[in-house]
Amino acid sequence: MPISGEHIVVKAHEIQLLDDSGQEQARLGATGNGVALTMGRAGSGPQLWLGADAGGDAALRLFDRDTGAKRVEISLDAKGTHVFLAGEGGQQSYLFLKNGGPTGVVLTDQAGKRRAQIMVDAAGKPDISTDPS
């Protein structure tokens, strides 16, 4: 038991959290490329991934518990901030806020075809378009 005020330092390239049966439930790892925390049920792949690379880009990803498909990603990189959502049927929604520039929302159908988008350019001019076909 640490004495009050004492600091304990643990150094490792990777830390794994295991359940009572020894199955990995979470992993925290660091490499020269960055650091990542992955959590998920044993045998089903990741359900959550949180990472940051050496260049300062960071992302949070959430995966479908049954299929393992990426359903949500929130990311921040040199271009701006992005939010990606994916549905079970293949439809996707994407929100972006570019640094010093345009912002927008893009919506696709199950086939991945762009059906609607709302954009605001760097000067503040809006553009709304749809493709009902």
Residue 15 within a domain? yes
Share of the chain above pLDDT 90, in %: 67
Q: Tell me what pLDDT residue 65 has.
A: 85
Within this chain, do residues 51 and 87 fall inside the same structural domain, yes or no? no
Sheet containing strand 14-18, strands side by side: 14-18, 24-31, 34-39, 48-53, 58-63, 70-77, 80-86, 92-98, 103-108, 114-120, 126-130
Q: How confident is the model at residue 67 (pLDDT cuts 50, 70, 90)?
A: confident
Domain that holds residue 129: 79-133
- Where among 27, 62, 97 does a domain terminate? 62
Within this chain, do residues 52 and 92 fall inside the same structural domain, yes or no? no
- Check which CATH number belongs to the domain holding 129 and give it: 2.40.128.160
Residue 73 within a domain? no
Distance separating alpha carbons of residues 10 and 33, to the nearest angstrom: 20
Digit-coded pLDDT (tens) for 39-64: 987 667 889 999 999 888 999 999 99
Within this chain, do residues 44 and 94 fall inside the same structural domain, yes or no? no
- Where among 62, 93, 110 does a domain terminate? 62
Number of structural domains found in the chain: 2
Distance separating alpha carbons of residues 34 and 31, to the nearest angstrom: 5
Within this chain, do residues 58 and 1 fall inside the same structural domain, yes or no? yes
Within this chain, do residues 37 and 88 fall inside the same structural domain, yes or no? no
The rounded mean pLDDT for the chain is 91
Residue 40 within a domain? yes
Within this chain, do residues 56 and 87 fall inside the same structural domain, yes or no? no
* C-alpha 113 chain-centroid distance: 22
Share of the chain above pLDDT 70, in %: 96
Residue 70 within a domain? no
Amino acid at 70: K
Residue 74 within a domain? no
